Amino acid sequence: MSAFFIFLFISFAVLHINCLILPSNTLPNNQLIKPINEIQNKDTFKCDNGWYWLQSKKTCINIQDTPLNWSDAESACVTSGTHLVSIDDAFEEDAVKTIMQQYGTCDYYWIGAKRGADGNFTWSDKNQFSYSNFGPGNANNPSKNCTDINEQSSNWRTLDCSDKNCYICEKPDPSDVPETAVYTDCAELKEAGQTKSGFYYITTKNGAKKVFCDMEVNGGGWVVIQQRVDDTLEFWNQKWNAYKQGFGFFAEKSNFWIGNDLIHELSSKDPKVILRVELWGDQNPASPYKNEYWWSEFNFQLEDESTDYTLHASILKRDPNDWKGTGNASTNWYDVTCEEGVKFSTVDKINDPWSKCVTDYHLGGWWLHYCATVSLNGQYKPAKYADGYGFMWLIDGQYMINPIKSRMLLRKLI
């Protein structure tokens, strides 16, 4: 029997919905600020422990001496919000070499250059590829597509991407991080006059945090807490601490999870907070809904880690007699409201009474109680389509999709 049908049977017995009223927060004085991409970099920056400053590029790099193939190395960097290092000129290359020699133990390290089907190289961080330093002879072997750098000579060579190498991650543009920020969420930024969607810093209990603000959809002022655009970063097998702190590469069109600690803070500081879910398309080859768009909104609050991030979700009523909820993705019967009062589960901390929901159905990184009817952090390409596996959502209680893209957004109730 599939996870979907087992969940439906059990959910009839356990379904209940609560509404929460939480402490309010005072809006700070209005002060216009700029999106991150309009802020000028500082001349100096203190990198995190284990990261080293590249003055010429104003970024931080991290030397990883655990050999991985090129794709796994890039994925490891992306999981921590970075990419494999890119090198724009000989000055940067010399600085990278110096750090490799001081802190590395390997002879060769993967960098972000990879040859495409057209024979041209690109950087994994999308920087323009305008510099190379391949060594003599057949160092740039046209039959091999991934690139490493020598720790002593700094010469490059191409290898099979399946070969294992040490690697170097690079944090993009860290020098624009402010010590403090003025506003506590995107809604306050919108109220202060910010109308441009983009990355901003907000103030949190742990200092300034970078978030993406959608200032356009349904009045704007939304913090994007989850985004999936493709299968380049897997979500279901990320561990508890990754979900606690957040993972992925924070860009407008990339895969990321903002972190349960921050989601708890954002969803608990105002009397009522809305979760907006957006879904695009269906991966199922037999689906008639490959190009559809769905959305729904819910009352939402996430408890802190001491409760294993217990979820509270309920119908967002626009009037007292509105039991259908808001949007076209759900009638609020088989959706996140089914996970009311449920704890969060990951591959290394399964709170679901039926562990197969994580280990077999690959629904990890979600609120699971004998599986679920929705799981937006499940395996991107599921073992079976429309059958309760992986990255999925039950549309309007009628048919199950495995989305192509998804977003989850938070905003206080306006």
Q: How many angstroms separate the CA atoms of 317 and 268, rounded? A: 19
Instruction: Assess if residue 134 is contained within a domain.
Output: yes
Which CATH number fits the domain that encloses residue 147? 3.10.100.10
Q: What is the dihedral of CA 280, 283, 284, 287, to 10 degrees?
A: 30
Flag whether 31 is in a domain.
no
Same domain (yes/no): 269, 403: yes
Mean pLDDT in residue range 289-297: 95
- Are residue 381 and residue 254 in the same domain, yes or no? yes
Domain match, 107 and 207 both: no
Assess whether 193 and 263 both reside in one domain. yes
**Domain check: are 236 and 361 in the same one?**
yes
336-391 pLDDT, tens digit each? 999 999 999 999 999 999 999 999 999 999 999 999 999 999 999 999 999 999 99
Same domain as 261, residue 205: yes
| pLDDT band (50, 70, 90) for residue 319 | low
Tell me what pLDDT residue 331 has: 73
* Selected residue with higher pLDDT from 13 and 318: 318
**Same domain? 200 vs 131:** no
* Co-location of 65 and 207 in the same domain: no
Determine how β-strand 374-375 pairs with β-strand 392-395.
antiparallel
Q: What percent of the chain has pLDDT over 70?
A: 84
Task: Please check whether residue 256 lies inside any domain of the structure.
Answer: yes
Domain boundary among 158, 174, 190: 174
Instruction: Say yes or no: 197 and 80 in one domain.
Output: no
Give yes or no: residues 307 and 349 share one domain: yes
More confident position, 391 or 182: 391
State the total domains in the chain. 2
CA–CA distance, 191 with 197 (Å, rounded to integer): 13
pLDDT of residue 9: 45
pLDDT, tens digit (0-9, with 9 covering 90-100), for 7-43: 444 443 444 333 322 223 333 333 344 444 443 333 4
Domain that holds residue 195: 3-25+178-412
Same domain for 69 and 11, yes or no, is: no
Buried b (16+ CB within 10 A) or exposed e, 37-58: eebeeeeebebeeebbbbeebb
Domain containing 305 — which CATH number?
Answer: 3.90.215.10
* Strands 121-123 vs 108-115: parallel, antiparallel or unpaired: antiparallel
Residue 41 lies in a domain: no
- Looking at the fold, whether 169 and 186 belong to one and the same domain comes out as no
Instruction: Lowest mean pLDDT of 31-45, 103-117, 167-181, name the range.
Output: 31-45
CA atoms of 59 and 168, how far apart (whole Å): 12
Does residue 148 lie within any of the structural domains? yes
